[in-house]
Structure 1
Amino acid sequence: MRIEDFKNLHIAIVGGGYGGAASAIALKSIGAENVHVYEQAPAFGQVGAGIGLRPTTVELFRQWGIFDAIAAVSAPSDRLEIVTADGKMVLAQEEWPELHGFAQTNHTRIIHRGDFIEALFGALPPKMVHLGYQLNGITDHGNTSTLTFENGESVTADLVIGADGIRSLVRKQLFTDKAPVFAGEHAYRTVISLDDTFDLVTDDNPRFYIASNGTVAYNLPLRHRNQVSYDITARSEDDTWAPIITNDYLVALLEGFDQRILDIARTLDISKVTSRSVYDIDPVDLWHTDSVTLLGDSAHAMLHHQGQGANSAIQDAGALANALLEADSVPAALALFQANRKPLTDELQRLSRLGWTPESAEVAFPEQSAAK
């Protein structure tokens, strides 16, 4: 499609997470002007913990002209280290894939989720962002689709991007009503001061501590904030969305771990710990119609073990913009987008379900081996 075509294309994005915001930025970067993001929350807040934005993702930020904004609220990392639960043996220590794969070195950026969302939306004109718009339904007319919202408003667009997450209503109404799949795990996350880590953090690189029973404790340094993201994943049969926990419960989970990890668990303000059951979705056979596409978690929600969820959503955004430039129509672009991205995300979903054990942690990035 010609760049001139984008100026008249009405694009509606459902969901104001990483995928939705990145899609708006990517489309804006190729000339789209009539792009609107509809987010159900009434406001953006500082929620969540830390994530790692990989070098290939960082390269997109450079292309979109937002690298400086991301760098200002993140810390650079050059490697990932995986160690035994007691911290006495290094199982794997590897540079991030593609660290030196571009004209400039692209470190993985360790960032707080709230800072990341603020930086993304700070790159968009306020008129593109609509808060308090909870999707009620979608009707596909072929070349256009209509969104209806709980507030009574409706929007008809030439292209609708369903970036509405793991419980996507767009996916449920147009593609598949299969429910998310419980992984048999819980994830506990919080952000604490570096001063409260008992000297656990010594550099800017994430470190995973892995036990033979599948429990993983990992930390992502947020040194620019003088903080660290402290995370635990452990097996559980309780599929309650937000399980109730105590400090004693966390300490018991971490028996045999590095004493500093236990000390942190014992002294945490438990009211500030996010407790969640872990879910993903089975691969979705079809992501698109002629005027609607899924993107990010709505298309391929994956477990967090490989740290690829946010990165995949942002890579989707770049791939969708490229497909629109390459194809001669919106339907052709959506087909090309799925053809380019689905094999990659199917494999990442599969790898993410494998989890971590000391035996499986011979390499830090199993997707690298799978691609060979």
Structure 2
Amino acid sequence: MIAKSLTTVAIIGGGPGGLATAIALSELPSFHVTLYEQSPEPREAGAGISLSTNAWKILDLLEASDGVKGGPQANTYQRNGHTGKVLRLQEQPENSAGDVRGSIRARRTRLQSALLARVLPDTIVYNKKLVSLESVPDGGVRLNFKDGTEVIPDLVVGADGIRSIVRRILFPNHELHFTGNTAWRVLIQKSSLTHIPDVTDATAWWWGQNGHVYFSDVDDETENPDPYFEITVRSYTEPEAPGLTVPWGISATNDKVASRVSKFDKRVRDAVAVVPEGHWREFAGYAGPRLERAFGSGATFAMEDGWILARALEEKRLSDSPIQGALDIFDRIRSPYYHKMYEHIDNNHDKMQQQTKLKTHNLDEFLQARVDNILGGNKDFIYKNDIRKVWEDYVTALAVEN
């Protein structure tokens, strides 16, 4: 039996955000944490994930950074995807991002494994698909699972991704829509691509008019003698597939992917052709209306959210309304951050829309403008974010107010 003096927390979803939240909350002595994952075992869909200073900061706090290795992204090429012309070369020293580990691209499974290793035993319960949740009169939330079981924790954290049942129940009018943006991703052995010029020598984006192709190391070659390499093919103008609800990680044929790069440089087409049949996975892009209060998306953002939530709950554990007080703190810290990010995204989108309307651009000029726009603006507030300092600044500001 769990002592009534404990605050019980249920986390829905075992991705990086859910795992990080479980780690952070489990360190609090007065909390009992259970993570419910619908899959029968640990798994991670996707290919690679980019990690910069903000990711290292939160992984250090979770004591999970040592388990994450990947390929360095010190030099990144931006190319015209049709001709191969270099539009920009980003040369960065390894510690330019504010951390001696630099920016890396790692397999998502490495991040997942590193976080899993830090989760306390018996915290995760698998084969638990949430079907409904509702508040109960005396406090807490009733969770009903597909297997017929139910639990009533004091607090629920929704970390169940793009198909989130938590989001659908709490925000029934928050309808997702297909953006027309779809990515096909794969990891293959780098040795199978080294015969193709300019593909495996550096991280590179090959930009087309209606899509792009991304190449990157995902393994530390000093650790893995036969490292893996990531290829992502992205299309911006896909039709919505009837009957599919948020396709995520479904299989895609070689012909389907190859057709999206038929007008690209031969080096790109040759690299795509190397991939064995059945290895491509498709990820459709969906979006919904923005919410006014903190509502993050992305692995590093979610891990930061979980850590801030833990700090807020720790701060308010002895107050009259510890959970509501903690949620208010969380919102005060994280919502302005997300609003700043949305503003940055909107500014980039507006600039791109203006450039698209210009008829004077030839394709090369259009792609150059796209690259300049994407790489423009100061993104230090994202990639150099120090979440520990964010919390310390909040505590300092609160002391001044009081």
Interval of TM-score (by shorter of Structure 1 and Structure 2): 0.7 to 0.9
Whether the 8 Å contact between 1:24 and 1:37 is mirrored in structure 2 is yes
Report SS of the residue matched to 1:271. Answer: coil
- 10, 15, 18: which one pairs with 1:12? 10
**Please, which of 256, 259, 263 is the counterpart of residue 266 of structure 2?**
259
**2:369 alignment partner AA:** E
| CA 345–367 in structure 1, closer or farther in 2 if over 3 Å, else same | farther
CA spacing shift, 1:46–1:369, aligned 2, 3 Å: closer
TM-score by length of 1: 0.81
Shift of 1:32: 5.7
Alpha carbons of structure 1 residues 114 and 133: separation in structure 2 relative to 1, 3 Å: same
Whole-angstrom distance in 2 between the partners of 1:268 and 1:97: 30
- Per the TM alignment, residue 51 of structure 1 is displaced from its structure 2 partner at its CA by 0.9
Q: Is the 8 A contact 2:74 2:94 kept in 1?
A: no
The superposition leaves residues 102-159 of structure 1 with CA deviations (integer Å, 9 ceiling, x where unpaired) of: xx52423322122322221121122101100000111123742121111122111122
The question of whether the paired residues in 1 share the 8 Å contact of 2:251 and 2:279 is answered with: no
Supply the AA of the counterpart residue of 1:146.
Answer: R
Q: In the alignment, what sits opposite 2:372?
A: 362
In structure 2, how many angstroms separate the alpha carbons of the residues matched to 1:29 and 1:220? 36
Q: Retained in 2: the 8 A contact 1:84–1:91?
A: no
Amino acid at match of 2:281: T
The structural deviation recorded for 1:320 is 1.7
Q: 1:131 aligned to 126, 136, 160, which one?
A: 126
Q: 1:22 to 1:32 in 2, by over 3 A?
A: farther
1:87 aligns with 2:84: yes
1:349–1:272 distance in 2 versus 1, CA, 3 Å: farther
AA in 2 matched with 1:321: A
**Counterpart of 1:293?**
none
Tell me the CA shift for residue 262 of structure 1.
0.9
Give the corresponding residue for 1:285. Answer: 292
Deviations 1:56-83 (A, max 9, x none): 1111111221211224xx3343454433
Separation (CA, whole Å) in 2 of partners of 1:352 and 1:257: 27
Structure 2: how far apart are the matches of 1:96 and 1:11? 42
* 1:15-44 superposed Cα distances (whole Å, 9 cap, x missing partner): 111110111112234546511100001112
| Stretches of structure 2 lacking an aligned partner (at least 5 in a row) | 353-366, 383-402
Matched ranges for 1:195-274 at <5 A: 195-197=191-193, 198-199=196-197, 200-203=199-202, 206-211=203-208, 213-224=209-220, 225=224, 226-240=227-241, 241=244, 242=247, 246-274=253-281
Distance 1:300 1:63 in 2: 19
Partner SS for 1:161: strand
Q: SS of 1:34's equivalent? A: strand
Quick one: distance in 2 between partners of 1:97 and 1:7? 48
Whether the aligned pair in 2 keeps the contact of 1:55 and 1:96 (CA below 8 Å) is no
Residue 258 of structure 1: how far off its partner (Å): 3.6
Using the alignment, how far apart are the partners of 2:42 and 2:114 within structure 1?
Answer: 11
Is 1:81–1:364's contact at 8 Å kept on the other side of the alignment?
no
Question: 50-59 or 254-263: which moved more?
Answer: 254-263
CA distance in 2 between counterparts of 1:347 and 1:176 reads: 26
Q: 1:83·1:91 contact (CA, 8 Å) conserved in 2?
A: yes
User: Residue deviations 1:217-263, cap 9 Å, x none?
Assistant: 00221233511111011123422244885434433422453432210
Task: After TM superposition, give the deviation of residue 335 of structure 1 in Å.
Answer: 1.8
Change (3 A) 1:319 1:50: same
C-alpha deviation, 1:369, in angstroms: 5.6
In the alignment, structure 1 residue 337 sits paired with structure 2 residue 330? yes
Counterpart residue identity of residue 313, structure 1: A
Partner amino acid, structure 2, of 1:207: A
Q: Please give the alpha-carbon distance, in whole angstroms, between the structure 2 residues aligned to 1:40 and 1:141.
A: 23
Q: Is the 8 A contact 1:55 1:97 kept in 2?
A: no
Q: Which secondary structure does the structure 2 equivalent of 1:157 belong to?
A: coil
Tell me by how many angstroms 1:311 deviates: 1.9
Of 133-142 and 355-364, deviating more is 355-364
- The structure with the largest alpha-carbon Rg is 2
Runs of 4+ residues deviating >6 angstroms:
none
Length-normalised TM-score, structure 2: 0.75
Give the aligned partner of residue 320 of structure 1: 309
C-alpha distance in structure 2 between counterparts of 1:339 and 1:270, whole Å:
49
Q: Tell me the distance in 1 between the aligned counterparts of 2:20 and 2:213.
A: 29
- Runs of at least 5 residues in structure 1 that lack an aligned partner in the other structure: 1-5, 288-298, 302-308
Instruction: Give the 3-state SS of the residue equivalent to 2:110 in structure 1.
Output: helix
The one-letter code sitting in structure 2 at the alignment partner of 1:232 is: V
Which secondary structure does the structure 2 equivalent of 1:361 belong to? helix
Q: Is the 8 A contact 1:210 1:216 kept in 2?
A: yes
| Identity %, equivalent residues | 24
CA contact (8 A) 1:219 1:228 kept: yes
Tell me, what secondary structure is at the counterpart of 2:278? helix
Secondary structure at the counterpart of residue 128 of structure 2: coil
> What corresponds to 1:192 in structure 2?
188
